[in-house]
A and B are shown apart, each in its own frame.
Chain A
Amino acid sequence: MNDRVNARLLWQLTRDYRLVFSMAIVSMAVGYLFMFGPPLAGKLAIDVVEQGVDGADIPPWIHRIAEMLAFGSAPGLMTYMAIAAIGTVLMTMLAGMLLYVRGRCSAIASEGIIRRLRDRIFSHLEHLASSYHDKQDTGDLLQRCSSDMETVRVFLAGQVIEISRAILMLLVVLPILFWLDTDMAWLSLASMPILLVSAVIFFRRVKELFLEVDESEARMTTVLQENLTGIRVVRAFARQEFEIGKFGERNREFRDLNQKLIGLLGLYYGGSDLICLGQICLLLIVGATWTIEGHITVGTLFAFLTYESMIIWPIRHMGRVLTDSGKAIVSMGRIAEVLAEPMETQNETDPGKRLSGRVEFHHVGFGFDAHRPVLSDVSFTIGAGQTLAILGPPGAGKSTIAQLLMRLYDYTSGSILLDGHELSTLSRKFVRSQISIVLQEPFLYSASILGNLLVGRVDASFQEVVEATQEACIHESIERFPRGYDSLVGERGVTLSGGQRQRIALARALLKRPPILILDDALSAVDTDTESQILAALAKARNKQTTIIVAHRLSTVMHADKILVLNEGRIVQEGTHESLSQVDGIYRNLCEIQGAIQDQIESDLVRN
């Protein structure tokens, strides 16, 4: 990723806003022209006072205005003072209006560009391939979307304007200075190079300290957060004093680093104040000498003194602006990296009608790298409305089958047919709209419970929602929450147990009423009693809905139309409960172990 690509991306994003942005810069330029007017008005007034109306070097056009104002009689001191006063106010007002236009335009442009960039990266995140999210660190990604974005925003909103302001200021003020007096102009620029160079060097240096302070703050926050989330453990071991000590150390470290940084900043600002004011002092003294010697007028001296204080502080600020701009370029690069990641393909066909739910796998293979296949040579068929159960040890590839069906990954060999359509030719959105999946650790949005359920089908009536939650055996639990279906999920609302989360996710999936339902170990945290109720409810939908169950309990899988036993990515057994329990193999072993347990419980009961 190089700077040119980043710059091009930024340039693309400015489309539609370029005119507004230019308006901001132009109005700023003109605005500053007017800003430089009042000191000239002041110069006029002072020169008139010092040298008298006749002695002062008054530009002819002002003289003419003065004559007009004086109604033909010779204009007096007060006329010129009035001109200066009105000029000052008028020019400031004009400058103010233009500055307002600049502020408005730059706000519209920069916030608009950032809105576009945010929308774009969000949409990109939504459409990135699953494999990207698998390997990407969440915290890092989130940082790119939030703090890097903010850095770019500040750059667009502040630093771009700041830099153009400094450049414009120099472009506008330099000619005025040199027009007023060449020697004084050189003199007033004397300390600029030192100021600029020292600022840049200083901020380069403290950049690392800034980083250290940030990290130290993060460490302190972590201790705080760990303490608050683990407060029960702290109390359990009566470790309050220890924790206070631990936090105290981090708290002090943060303070001390901060003070180190502030000490340096104090040194810099104190030092640069010295340079800036020294420059003004130099100008005053030398200027005064030259005034005495008659090179320049008092008014010119006044104008220089005013201009100097107008340009010198922004120049001092430049060091900081330039370092911050450097950060913005890095941030832009990090955002561009995300945007450069390929999205999921989207150009496949959409049959446009509901599938019946027939699934065929023909010699399907899949792996992230060629040497370690996750699935190999998997073949099976489920008729529409049938139930398939998949068993197998952890890492056997059970979930991968579900993920291939959802087109979260694309199979690398063989063929998968949905109602006879090759899966890879169907659009992902269509495929996913035909399948509901419930995961072992389901994700719920931080919205109300009802809101989470409606994710299944947005236009569902409340009646339909309740039907789904009843099937999933969660309706009563929800009703018991203080705010029922309107309870919020998460820290500010109700805390849900694993089983409750699973059942809400199930209800959400059921609400969609899809042709194919996949339960990926989705009832692991639900007790057996509830589970059998849920399975009974699901059994009613038989023949209407193809169901794929990944599970471990015999009771869950034994009534399936077909059972697959998977091991190391291959199907090792296939059949029904009846057929599989007849033959020697993994499945029968399972039955025996679970049967033995059953026997033990029976004997427990008999013995007592």
Chain B
Amino acid sequence: MSDFFDDENFQDEFDEDSWRHGMNLDLWKRLLGYTLHYKKEVTILVTCAISVALSEVAFPLITKAVIDGIAQQGADLNLTLYGSLYAFFVVVIGISVGNFIWFGGKIRTNVAHDIRRDGFDNLQHLSFSYYDFRPVGWLMARMTSDIERLSNILAWGLLDLVWGATMMFGIAVAMLFMNVTLGLVVLSMIPVLAWLSLNFQRRILKSARQVRKTNSRITGSFNESIMGVRTTKAFVKEAENLNNFGSLTDDMYKASVLNRIQAALYLPLVLTLGSLASGLALVFGGLEILWGAITAGTLVAFLTYARHFFEPIQELANWFAEMQMAQASAERIISLIESEPAIQDSPEVRERMQALHADSVPARIAIDGHPDEIRQVTFENVGFKYDVGPQVLSGVDLTIEHGQNIAIVGSTGGGKTTLVNLLCRFYEPTEGRILLDGVDYRDRSLHWLQSNLGIVLQASHVFGGSIMENIRYGRLDATEDEILEASRRAGAHDFIMAMDDGYDTQVGEGGSKLSAGQKQLLSFARAILADPKILVMDEATSSVDTVTEQHIQKGLAELLKGRISVVIAHRLSTIRNADRIIVIEHGRMIESGNHAELMKVRGRYHKLYTQQSLTQFSREERTWVAV
């Protein structure tokens, strides 16, 4: 499925027109740095490219010598000499071709690997604001097809450039050396061919892109027709879908035929130009022969050169067009690699961390010089808005002490998630500040804070791999016993043992083999193992079977014990057991207190609670077990 991400639907709009703006050489220079990093390989590659080109130039010369030799010396001709000379070049080409494929491939895969590595590194450190406007599919397309395209240019493009330039130069020199007039006659075809090639290659690449774009839409259609088959049947949309699909395949037909007709037109034109060069060589060659200026062997060499001259021009034109089309890819990749995270340690923090690094960190002191503990979290008049859009949160004042459990309730879109994101420093407040034990968290190390956070999300994300590996994600150096212990406390042990391979069970991509409830329990175990100072949780609302529900409630109580915990709560039990409940509506904290206090107020919480309880307790599973 990897070619799914060669998805032209994930291209930007400006992409299509970018080649009109001409080339941005600076961009390519920066990317070429990746190639030049492999000095040894590049040297060998260039050497091979040159020796292949020169050998190819040499062959017609040997043929010429043999033919002329036959005419002049007849039987006295030293065939062994020419034979071994030819054989020598054959071996040179054989070895060089093998080597340049090997080293070109090595450079290409290394460059792809390196760009991808740097891109991934940076993606790990970019702030969430970077992800807000970039869907996963878009990022995947950058990291897969864009990188493949660029690494091709950066390796094979370079190879062809060296080979093509050497060969053209070599042939030109050889021709002019043999006979200036004839040489100039054949060379006169170059500008025409270059112009023709460049124009055609551009068009061909453009229509090829259109084909890919339509193709990914077709794949999307197939995907929808399979996933949505019930809906299609229920609404009797078969005919309409087929009709839409038909116009898509029509587009595809037109685009592909256009693309192939362009290619079919290009080749004959090149061939005809080539034959014109040969024809001119024959006529002018004939004249030169009449004047005694050249021999038959030279004529043969010219005829061969006239044919070979056109290959490098075609190749170079192709790469040049490809580079223009790939300009947008290059821009996006460079920007991905060079983007600075919006949230990172301040210079002061970094300085302090470096200073501390020298004389190893004392016990109970964090890597940034402050004490390695969090006894209190304070929100001071905190507000937040995105770069564009309305105020999401304003005027939040809140103090959470060690061991306290806070439940956040309120309607969707009210700002609950934003509050939690600010606490995790996924975003920073645009107004006010957040203090950890009295210190603004901007003055602390981001890494330190986030390694002391435990986060359990609504849609528990599980990685492909075994259950053991997934729990271990909480603390990488945990022993097997510690993992089992965490899993028992989370209430996950029973269901895990009930599976065929126990802790070694493979959960499938994205945990596809686990139910929502099981994933939830797994993420509890992971968080318990991590034993974070602050736990942040977005409680899931999905319905699970009774047994799991009981496990979840127990596991949750374990998880929240003995630390600062903030839960976007949906379960009644969670809400009622919280030390403090805060109600967030329209970006403001409108009520705060424990269950009893808030019920007394008879405000928003009272209303939410009464509604919520009905929803919750009428869940199928409970009722049916009770039956």
Contacts and interface: CB of A to CB of B under 8 A. Distances in A.
Contact of A278 (B90, B104, B260): B90
A255 B109 contact: yes
Given A104-B261, A228-B139, A42 B67 contact: no
B577 interface: no
Interface string A105-142: 01110011001001100110111101001000011011
Given A100-B264, A273-B94, A89 B276 contact: yes
A233 B457 contact: yes
A130 B274 contact: no
B66 A288 contact: yes
Given A118-B218, A230-B463, A289 B79 contact: yes
B116 interface: yes
B196 interface: no
Interface string A248-272: 1001101100110111011101110
B67 A458 contact: no
A81 B291 CA distance: 14
20 contacts: A88-B279, A89-B272, A106-B260, A123-B242, A150-B215, A231-B131, A233-B461, A259-B109, A262-B104, A266-B101, A278-B87, A281-B83, A281-B87, A289-B79, A432-B235, A436-B234, A491-B137, A525-B541, A552-B618, A598-B614
A54 interface: no
Nearest to B148: A217
Given A142-B219, A273-B93, A45 B257 contact: no
A277 B58 CA distance: 13
Contacts of B94: 270-271, 273-274, 277
A122 B228 contact: no
A368 interface: no
Interface string B490-501: 000000000000
Contact of A594 (B102, B116, B222, B617): B617
A326 interface: no
Interface stretch (B30-38, B281-289, B347-355, B376-384): B281-289
A233 B272 contact: no
B296 A590 contact: no
Interface stretch (B1-9, B14-22, B328-336, B401-409): B1-9
Given A77-B290, A89-B275, A218 B236 contact: no
Contacts of A175: none
Interface in A226-247: 226-240, 242-244, 247
Nearest to A601: B613
A222 interface: yes
Contact of A218 (B1, B622, B624): B1
B599 interface: yes
Given A589-B627, A601-B610, A445 B228 contact: yes
Contact of A115 (B86, B252, B278, B412): B252
A589 B279 contact: no
Given A125-B225, A274-B91, A288 B280 contact: no
B203 to A, nearest CB: 15
Contacts of B3: 147
Given A89-B276, A262-B106, A292-B74, A45 B123 contact: no
Nearest to B96: A270
Interface in A282-307: 284-285, 288-289, 291-293, 298, 301-302, 305-306
B210 to A, nearest CB: 13
B140 interface: yes
A433 interface: yes
B600 interface: yes
Contact of B464 (A222, A237, A529): A222
Contact of A491 (B135, B246, B269, B290): B135
A49 B242 contact: no
B24 interface: no
B184 interface: no
Contacts of A96: 267-269, 271-272
B265 interface: yes
B252 A292 contact: no
Interface in B439-474: 447, 450-451, 453-455, 457, 461, 463-464, 473-474
Contacts of B287: 78, 81
Q: How large is the interface on B (under 10, 10 to 19, 20 to 34, 35 or more residues)?
A: 35 or more
A458 B91 CA distance: 70
A496 to B, nearest CB: 11
Contacts of B474: 237
Given A146-B222, A298-B71, A528-B615, A115 B250 contact: yes
Contacts of B290: 77-78
A88 B233 contact: no
B117 A248 contact: yes
A61 B113 CA distance: 64
The interface centre, meaning the residue of B67, B267, B424 with most chain A CB atoms within 10 A of its CB, is B67
Contact of B144 (A118, A221, A255): A221
A608 B596 contact: yes
A416 to B, nearest CB: 17
A277 B93 contact: yes
Contacts of A58: none
Given A125-B222, A393-B624, A555-B614, A497 B276 contact: no
A82 interface: yes
Q: How extensive is the interface on chain A, given as a class? A: 35 or more
Contacts of A208: none
Given A232-B455, A255-B113, A100 B83 contact: no
Interface string A75-99: 0011011101110110111011101
Interface in B206-251: 215, 218-238, 240-242, 245-246, 249-250
B627 A239 contact: no
B124 interface: yes
A196 B102 CA distance: 23
Interface in B577-627: 596, 599-600, 606, 609-611, 613-615, 617-624, 626-627
B105 A259 contact: yes
A141 B227 CA distance: 11
Nearest to A429: B236
A522 interface: no
A432 B236 contact: yes
A446 interface: yes
Interface string A581-606: 00000100110011001101100110
A236 B269 CA distance: 61
Interface string B69-97: 01100110101001100110111011111
A484 interface: no
B253 interface: yes
A357 B118 CA distance: 63
A455 interface: yes
Given A102-B264, A524-B543, A285 B109 contact: no
Given A141-B226, A393-B627, 5 more contacts: A92-B271, A103-B261, A277-B90, A302-B300, A394-B624
A26 to B, nearest CB: 16
A408 interface: yes
B283 A81 contact: yes
Contact of A593 (B222, B299, B626): B626
A99 B543 CA distance: 65
Given A119-B249, A232-B457, A455-B235, A288 B2 contact: no
B110 interface: yes
A458 B240 contact: yes
B249 A118 contact: yes
A427 to B, nearest CB: 10
Contact of A589 (B228, B236, B536, B626): B626
Given A85-B283, A524-B543, A111 B257 contact: yes
Contacts of B545: 394
A401 interface: no
A126 B242 contact: yes
A600 B610 CA distance: 10
Contact of A270 (B101, B226, B473): B101
Interface string A34-52: 0000100110011001100
